[in-house]
Amino acid sequence: MSHAKGSIVQQTHPTRKNRFVILAIAGLVTAAGVTRATPASIEDVFNVPDRPSLNFYGTPGLMDMPSAEVMPDGQIAIGVSSFGGNTRTTLSFQATPRLSASFRYTTIKDLNLRGFEDFRDRSFDLRYLINKESRIWPAVSVGLQDFAGTGIYSGEYIVATKNFSGGRLPGKIKVTGGLGWGRLGSSGAIGSPFGGPRPPFEEGSTGGEPSVDQWFRGPAAPFAGIEWQINEKWGVKAEYSSDAYEQETQIGNVFTRKSRFNFGAEYQYTDRIRIGAYYMYGSEFGVNFQFQASPIRPPTPVRATPARPLQLRPSRASNPAAWGTDWITEPGAPAGLAEAMKPRLEAEGLELEALQVTAARAELRLRNHRYATTTLAIGRAARVMARSLPASVETFRIVIVENNLPQSTVTMRRSDLEALEFDPQASDALLAVSGITAASPDLPGAVRNDDLYPDFAWSIGPYVSQSYFDPDEPLRVDAGVKATATFKPGPGWEIGGTVRHRLFGNISDSDRLSNSVLPRVRTDSVLYSRGSDTVLANLYVAKQWKPGNDVYARVTAGYLERMFGGVSGEVLWKPVASRLALGVEANYVKQRDFSGLGFQDYSIATGHASAYYEFGNGYHGQLDVGRYLAGDVGATLTLSREFANGWKVGGFFTLTDVSAEEFGEGSFDKGINVTIPVSWFLGTPSKRSVSTTIRPIQRDGGARLSVPGRLYEQVRGGHLNALEDNWSGVWQ
Amino acid sequence: MIIKTKLAALALGVVVALSGCSGNMPEGGNILGAATSQLLTTIKARRASGGQPEFITVTPAQLAKTNIPVMQVNLLERGGTDFLRRRAVRNDNTPGEVVVWLASDKAQVFLRNGVLVGTRGIGGDIVSSDATPTVLAVSGARAGGGERRYFLSPGTYEQTELVLRCNVENMGRQDTQIANLSFNTTYLRESCIGGAGDKVRITNEYWVQPGSGLVRRSKQWAGPFSGHFELILLKN
């Protein structure tokens, strides 16, 4: 019964020392550890395809050459490779089953190109699987490498890969062949099938724009390779490279290219980590570290302490008295029920806001302090209601309230809950008979929880802020302590502030001051960093409320962020069952001093009209049109994919009326966002997440104000789509 | 060097994001402790996986002292033993009676006439399942079979459906020894196959008291994350 995957995993017993190395890596801590041998493996049960090995560009492939393979849907990969002075760090994301995107940071030692001794550059790739491998046909992919950078790696390819297994050799053999253009067509070209010549990258241009006129133009060269995955642990690779490394070997003297052939051996260290050693171009030794993880399957399954089984009512026949409705006529009955429910809710990480009861119906409004997945809160609230309310109450209405914003009304019949808890299709059956509808702004005649206000909360902890891709020092870090406090005097009101004190760091050491011709709304970050060790990151007063069933509003004033202060107002329209949401935000802000509480002269009215759309299956789009901080007018498009466990990976770009020359390096603003839920690491429920935005370069064009408490993300989690996707949480 | 600095910075970033102290903040505010203990658990689990898992054997004296319903569970692949208490009994529209057994860490196992149909609080749980043909075969201590349909959590609050074709064979009489007591039982073995490309194969075993249909002992699949549980009904 022992399946290959399971049994191999069981044989993995890294030494104690190595174990700590893995655990340290990436803080993806528990990621590395939990692989269990079970007879029916997790991969088989959830039908997870095999992960391909990565090449030196951090995408599926051999060494320098790509293959046609795709990573499993949703996979996130980090590749770090180095040979002959070329070091590449790549983050890749399989955004859909066929489309993947990569972002890369490169250092080429001693290239002496464009005035830099060590050349450092960012690049983006896109790959698309045209044909899935079948019994006869190979997988075929097309790719654009470095399609919008300064072009040093730019190349296009079409590639085919076929798997062979089951012959006399053990394991699996993958044979790859393809045709490359640009960099991948620089050695052994066979002509220009789509015409030429290929226009060169213009020295001195700002880069960053899709180089459409270059794609698939100029000479094309064939490349090929073979990978033999001997067993679950070991694999060997050989390739014929079509990359001449012209700039590195002819213009610069980075290394000597003596051969077109590369060879390597790779070892699968854990389920997620693979390491390789290579002999490159007949002269250089190379290494490649590959990390792959899936946000779909967490390293540790999320474990919430289960709720107790739903309490049943006595049957009406055996105990008719328990079904009486006289209780409702007793004065103070609703208040008594609310008091009884409070501690029971509290034990589940929930807090009662209001309770409205009649003889047959109850509406409970509550806050969820514990569960990132709203359905867990709903299921636990339903159980508390079943335990606490008299038998005659048949209809439960549950409304989760986030910071004074009632999200949606989930209506369930108590008898359905009683009948379906152990049903073979418990989750789908309950969803079919539950209603998810709009929540009214207020609940008249309800018993309210008087303990909610005033509410004061604080926290003190460390902070780290990073600055990426400075040509002199690719990663700069500041670290110190941060104190945050919020005071809520009444419903929807919040006074909040954050003070940071830097203990050490090197962001302010940078001598690359702004050369921007636009108002310096973002590029003065080094001056802000130099300004003071202790900073007031923000201090504001905010009020948010629901003016209507489907409308949400917010007003915020104060020091909104490190660089700007002022007033901000936002209105959002988001019906519970709608995939579309529309919002408007208007701000008037003044630029803050580099240190202290004062302001500089620059002020601006900035704001956007936004459309948000849920495409389904976790794909989200957002379009913001308006005026940006530097006074430029344009639009930002954001596309992201959110997984049910809260992982979110997205990309955005902004085009405004600022020209590429005015904008400076990169030509326009773009970047990627990654959000990782804390529960993914811990395996215990938590509402917290860690987010980061990485831009190839931060300039002043297309810059948006950063306001605390924007509305959309606050309400979306409690609406129809999010609830349906995670509905089984009601029973867990 | 770049590699090291970056990874260190990333690791530091994560640790920093998880640490800190707070007052009255939303839950999950101070979770460095939790992260650390999670780490230790992982390390311990790794260390433990070196040897064969050991299970507790109940002595006659211990059994004699037990006067409430108790089910012993041995985690056959993961290792470890726990004793479950009967938490609730439910009857619904599906054949068989559901008993909810509660573990010491509040995890739950749902047995429908002794057949494992659900778990809670283990992580990657069986959200729900339809095992009607198996329940009928086991209750009658006879051969049978048919489709088993699972809704499994992939470690989150989504669910994935897994359909297996199952065959229950009657392997004849094989008595069950629990401490000093011997029970007359019929040994049933269930083989299931299914999933994408029929790659999922599962075996369950039941030792059933004929007549009452009471499952005295069983070895049952509890989902891909949990593996098989050995369930011994110490006291009914």
Secondary structure class of A319 (helix, strand, coil): coil
* Phi, psi dihedrals of residue B143, rounded to the nearest 5°: -70, 160
In this prediction the ipTM stands at 0.83
Q: Strand pairing partners for B102? A: B85, B108
d(CA B27, CA B29): 5
User: Which has more confidence, A28 or A93?
Assistant: A93
Position B26 in a domain: no
What would the two tokens of residue B92 be?
Answer: 């619904």
Q: Is the pLDDT of residue B186 over 70?
A: yes
Contacts of A455 in chain B (CB under 8 A): 24
CATH number (domain holding residue B165): 2.40.360.10
Interface of A with B in 709-728 (CB under 8 A): 725-726, 728
Position B159 in a domain: yes
d(CA B1, CA A491): 51
Work out the pLDDT band at A45, boundaries 50, 70, 90: confident
Distance from CA of B214 to the nearest CA of A (A): 20
Interface of A with B in 474-513 (CB under 8 A): 474-475, 477, 479, 482
Query: What element of type H or E holds A385?
Result: helix A374-388
Position B55 in a domain: no
Span B88-108, pLDDT tens digits: 999 999 999 999 999 988 999
Position B30 in a domain: no
User: In one letter, which amino acid is A722?
Assistant: A
A454 CB within 8 Å of a chain B CB: no
- Per DSSP, helices labelled H in A259-373 are 333-347
How many domains are contained in chain B?
Answer: 1
A732 CB within 8 Å of a chain B CB: yes
CB distance B219 to B213 below 8 Å? no
- Nearest CB among B28, B107, B157 relative to A728 is that of B157
- Nearest CB among A309, A373, A420 relative to B157 is that of A373
Query: What element of type H or E holds A287?
Result: strand A284-293
Q: Which of A281, A237, A210, A270 is nearest to A67 (CA)?
A: A237
Position B196 in a domain: yes
Distance from CA of A464 to the nearest CA of B (A): 6
Interaxial angle between packed helices A374-388 and A333-347, expressed in degrees from 0 to 180 and rounded to the nearest 10: 130
Interface of A with B in 168-207 (CB under 8 A): none
d(CA A628, CA B27): 36
Q: How far is CA A247 from each of CA A203, A464, B139, rounded to the nearest angstrom?
A: 14, 37, 76
pLDDT at res. A229: 94
Span A683-710, pLDDT tens digits: 777 777 888 888 888 899 999 999 999 9
Question: How many Cβ atoms are within 10 Å of A301's Cβ, its own excluded?
Answer: 22
Contacts of A37 in chain B (CB under 8 A): 77, 227
Span A65-101, pLDDT tens digits: 999 999 999 999 999 999 998 999 999 999 999 999 9
Please answer yes or no on whether A461 and B203 come within 8 Å at the CB atom.
no
d(CA A439, CA A635): 32
Contacts of B202 in chain A (CB under 8 A): 39-40
d(CA B72, CA B233): 6
Secondary structure class of A163 (helix, strand, coil): strand
Span A245-278, pLDDT tens digits: 988 888 778 889 999 999 999 999 988 899 999 9
Q: Is the pLDDT of residue A473 over 90?
A: no
Secondary structure class of A479 (helix, strand, coil): strand
Work out the pLDDT band at A37, boundaries 50, 70, 90: very low
Contacts of A295 in chain B (CB under 8 A): none
Domains with residue ranges and CATH for chain A: 1-47 (no CATH), 49-293 (2.40.160), 320-452 (3.30.300), 462-712 (2.40.160)
Work out the pLDDT band at A578, boundaries 50, 70, 90: very high
What would the two tokens of residue A19 be?
Answer: 């174990």
pLDDT at res. B22: 57
d(CA A691, CA A704): 17
Span B194-219, pLDDT tens digits: 998 899 999 999 999 998 999 999 99
pLDDT at res. A690: 82
| A197 cis-preceded (ω within 30 degrees of 0) | yes
Secondary structure class of A715 (helix, strand, coil): helix
Work out the pLDDT band at A116, boundaries 50, 70, 90: low
Span A487-508, pLDDT tens digits: 999 999 999 999 999 998 888 8
Please answer yes or no on whether A681 and B127 come within 8 Å at the CB atom.
no
Q: Is the pLDDT of residue A19 over 50?
A: no
**A165 burial type by CB count under 10 A (0-12 exposed, 13-18 middle, 19+ buried):** exposed
A687 CB within 8 Å of a chain B CB: yes
Span A419-464, pLDDT tens digits: 999 999 999 999 999 999 999 999 998 999 999 999 999 999 898 8
CB distance A717 to A413 below 8 Å? no
Q: Which of A538, A24, A53, A172 is nearest to B7 (CA)?
A: A24
Q: Which residue do the tokens 């640009």 mark?
A: A182
Distance from CA of A509 to the nearest CA of B (A): 17
A306 CB within 8 Å of a chain B CB: yes
Position B70 in a domain: yes
Work out the pLDDT band at A543, boundaries 50, 70, 90: very high
DSSP collapsed to 3 states, chain B: CHHHHHHHHHHHHHHHHHCCEEECCCCCCCCHHHHHHHHHHHHHHHHHCCCCCCCCCCCHHHHHHCCCCEEEEEECCCCCEEEEEEEEEEECCCCCEEEEEECCCCCEEEEECCEEEEEECCCCCEEEEECHHHHHHHHCCCCEEEEEEEEECCCCCCCEEEEEEEEEEEEEECCEEECCEEECCEEEEEEEEECHHHCEEEEEEEEEECCCCEEEEEEEECCCCCCEEEEEEEEC
CB distance A427 to A728 below 8 Å? yes
User: Which has more confidence, A436 or A644?
Assistant: A436
Average pLDDT over residues A546-571: 97
- Nearest CB among B31, B151, B157 relative to A686 is that of B31
Q: How far is CA A311 from each of CA A245, A290, B87, rounded to the nearest angstrom?
A: 71, 50, 11
pLDDT at res. A203: 61
User: In one letter, which amino acid is A63?
Assistant: M
Contacts of B110 in chain A (CB under 8 A): 422
CB distance B233 to B225 below 8 Å? no
Residues in chain A, total: 732
Q: Is the pLDDT of residue A183 over 60?
A: yes
Please answer yes or no on whether A303 and B11 come within 8 Å at the CB atom.
no
What would the two tokens of residue A501 be?
Answer: 């004190």
pLDDT at res. A204: 61
Span A158-172, pLDDT tens digits: 999 999 988 788 889
Position B2 in a domain: no
Q: Is the pLDDT of residue B174 over 50?
A: yes
Q: Strand pairing partners for A80? A: A89, A289
Q: Strand pairing partners for A476? A: A467
Q: Is the pLDDT of residue A1 over 70?
A: no
Position B41 in a domain: no
pLDDT at res. A685: 72
Q: How far is CA A333 from each of CA A313, A326, A353, A355, B89, rounded to the nearest angstrom?
A: 19, 10, 17, 11, 31
Q: How far is CA A207 from each of CA A371, A628, A694, B69, rounded to the nearest angstrom?
A: 44, 22, 18, 73
Residue A430 sits at the vertex; the CA angle it makes with A428 and A431, to the nearest 5 degrees, is 65
pLDDT at res. A114: 65
**pLDDT above 70 coverage of chain A, percent:** 93
Span B118-170, pLDDT tens digits: 999 998 899 999 999 999 999 999 999 999 999 999 888 889 999 999 999 99
Contacts of B11 in chain A (CB under 8 A): 24-27
Distance of alpha carbon A226 from the chain centroid: 34
Span B43-90, pLDDT tens digits: 344 344 444 556 888 888 888 888 889 999 999 988 888 899 999 999
Across chain A, what does the average pLDDT equal? 88
Domain residues for the domain of B78 are 60-235
B191 CB within 8 Å of a chain A CB: no
CB distance B215 to B114 below 8 Å? yes
d(CA A443, CA A365): 9
Sign of CA dihedral A433, A438, A444, A449: positive
d(CA B8, CA B16): 12
pLDDT at res. A475: 83
Please answer yes or no on whether A26 and B10 come within 8 Å at the CB atom.
yes
Interaxial angle between packed helices A16-24 and B32-48, expressed in degrees from 0 to 180 and rounded to the nearest 10: 150
Please answer yes or no on whether B156 and A688 come within 8 Å at the CB atom.
no
d(CA B101, CA B109): 5
B198 CB within 8 Å of a chain A CB: no
d(CA B134, CA B168): 7
